[in-house]
Chain A
């Protein structure tokens, strides 16, 4: 059902937008692709990559959220906990404010520095958290590193010019505005890692029982933890680098699946990926339609809709959530 929904929404999203293109024109793509006109250029060069990118990123961050909640044994965990988003934001802000595009680091570009930042921060959190080896210490290390990174972004904002400040703030909101085929190609890393997460879903089930319990089921928990955190860092780092921060999908989507389908990660991870893809696609399509020809950044919409919904979940379903 979700697969059908996703396909339907993808086609619908193709013909919605500030330039009006009829459904017939969308469908004509499949009939006569050798006839490039204005509408086809918009469809093929702008909307199709954008739809694909939102689907891939949505699937990735929702699956990453499911995995990180499982490995932290905490239904309220979020990929941001391991520091990947704040680290990416710090490096991206640094790149913009310190004008690094003309320095030796210029080759990285904005997306590259965000990815590197997310990854370096995650490694730092892992390193600090592993010293005492418990889940709690990893979480606390994440909190501390997140705070430092946020302070760093604050400091950079303070140093920046008005124009730079605007681009830093805008970048943090998350937008698929810049989607093109090059970013879709980079994003193809995400579905591969989601597949790797899926292969660990049985082990994630066992880890929800507890570290010691999982050890007695034959699982090397520290190794699994490191692996899941790195997978999550790759997914989140790539998506933050490409489209900025998209709030709440990684937190809310796995919950929806657990409430309506199952807690078994064999279901939770693929189903979260599908639902995440659908929701991000819908949010992005909504964002570019409601105030057309301008655009509302998708990160604002997901947080605006996801926040109240999450409060509703907390209040109405707390028993089923096990809180």
Chain B
């Protein structure tokens, strides 16, 4: 059970955005993609999500090529939160979360318990009747996260979730809430890929990291394997200090 890219390159108007990328997102795994601005992280999400077609190579979802699947059947197995979702219409938060159920049909009333459960998990329960356009950035982001989770909430295992910078607008309490929730979902068999800028948050919660630079995979593996001083310096141009946590479980980057 994998979402799998094989030797994918992406060339757009003469510029190589991704070069010979191969990666496998396993069911039950939390994979975090890190890398500097312009490294191709969002292009990679677009590729895995099927919204951009690779120039060379192929992407498969549990052995099914994207070209052979209908959008509707793909939407029952793959949910994606792109980086900037803007919504100009005054929908209620609850209505937006319900939109995640579109691929499955079913009435809004029938799905109400599911929406309530997800809202509680993300601290959205008091906002369900609020109008989306009146929310703060972090509240909007949590609403969109809830919608994406709602799409596959009852489709685990076998579902894949891709998030492009989901934690950027969240305060630390909601970052922790969200990352713990993803942990629970991977235990239920979800394959989760996150693009993140907070390397420490990624290292703390992800099973595996992937470091991307200039459209190429620099390293992939456990956080300790990937996050060496040299690699961070080469990728970001910043020399970090690596601190071992007191319980010895993980390292922490100071930069």
Mark A residues whose CB is within 8 Å of B: 70, 73-75, 202-203, 205-206, 208-210, 212-213, 215-220, 258-259, 262-264, 319-323
Contact = CB atoms under 8 A, between A and B. Distances in A.
23 contacts: A203-B102, A206-B102, A208-B87, A208-B91, A209-B96, A209-B147, A210-B82, A210-B87, A213-B82, A215-B51, A217-B151, A218-B70, A218-B73, A218-B75, A220-B71, A258-B90, A262-B92, A262-B95, A264-B91, A319-B133, A322-B87, A322-B88, A322-B89
B79 interface: yes
A220 B73 CA distance: 12
A259 B72 CA distance: 32
Contacts of B127: none
Given A218-B76, A263-B91, A206 B99 contact: yes
Interface of B: 49, 51, 70-76, 78-80, 82, 85-92, 95-96, 99-100, 102-103, 131-134, 147, 151
B51 A320 contact: no
Given A73-B88, A210-B86, A213-B85, A320 B71 contact: no
Contacts, number: 86
Most chain A beta-carbon contacts within 10 A, residue among B73, B99, B100, B131: B99
Nearest to B131: A320
Given A216-B49, A264-B91, A320 B79 contact: no
A219 B102 contact: yes
B51 to A, nearest CB: 5
Most chain B beta-carbon contacts within 10 A, residue among A206, A209, A262: A209
A73 B96 CA distance: 15
A205 B147 CA distance: 13
B232 to A, nearest CB: 31
Given A202-B102, A263-B95, A320-B134, A216 B88 contact: no
Contacts of B95: 205, 262-264
A215 B49 CA distance: 10
Nearest to B75: A218
Given A216-B51, A321-B133, 10 more contacts: A70-B89, A210-B86, A217-B75, A218-B103, A258-B90, A264-B95, A320-B131, A322-B87, A322-B90, A323-B88
B91 A212 contact: no
B80 A216 contact: yes
A203 B75 CA distance: 14
Contacts of A319: 133-134
Most chain A beta-carbon contacts within 10 A, residue among B70, B74, B89: B89
A101 to B, nearest CB: 45
A218 B155 CA distance: 15
Most chain A beta-carbon contacts within 10 A, residue among B49, B71, B72: B71
B82 A218 contact: no
A209 B85 contact: yes
Contacts of B85: 209-210, 213
When A and B form their complex, which 5 residue pairs have the shortest distance between CB atoms, in order from nearest?
A218-B75, A322-B133, A218-B72, A218-B103, A263-B91
Contacts of A215: 51, 71
A209 B100 CA distance: 11
Contacts of B91: 205, 208, 263-264
A90 to B, nearest CB: 31
B66 to A, nearest CB: 12
Most chain A beta-carbon contacts within 10 A, residue among B51, B88, B103, B131: B88
A73 B90 CA distance: 12
Contact of B71 (A218, A263, A321, A322): A218
Contacts of A263: 89-92, 95
A208 B95 CA distance: 12
B87 A217 contact: no
A261 B102 CA distance: 22
Contacts of B102: 202-203, 205-206, 217-219
A263 B90 CA distance: 6
A220 B82 CA distance: 17
B90 A320 contact: yes
A218 B89 contact: no
A74 B88 CA distance: 7
Contacts of B76: 218
A321 B134 CA distance: 9
B93 to A, nearest CB: 12
Most chain A beta-carbon contacts within 10 A, residue among B49, B91, B131: B91
A3 B79 CA distance: 40
A7 B80 CA distance: 47
A219 B71 contact: yes
B42 to A, nearest CB: 11
Contacts of A220: 71
Nearest to A266: B108
B164 to A, nearest CB: 10
A254 B193 CA distance: 39
Contacts of B96: 209
Contacts of B51: 212, 215-216
A293 B80 CA distance: 62
Contact of A208 (B88, B92, B151): B88
A216 B133 contact: no
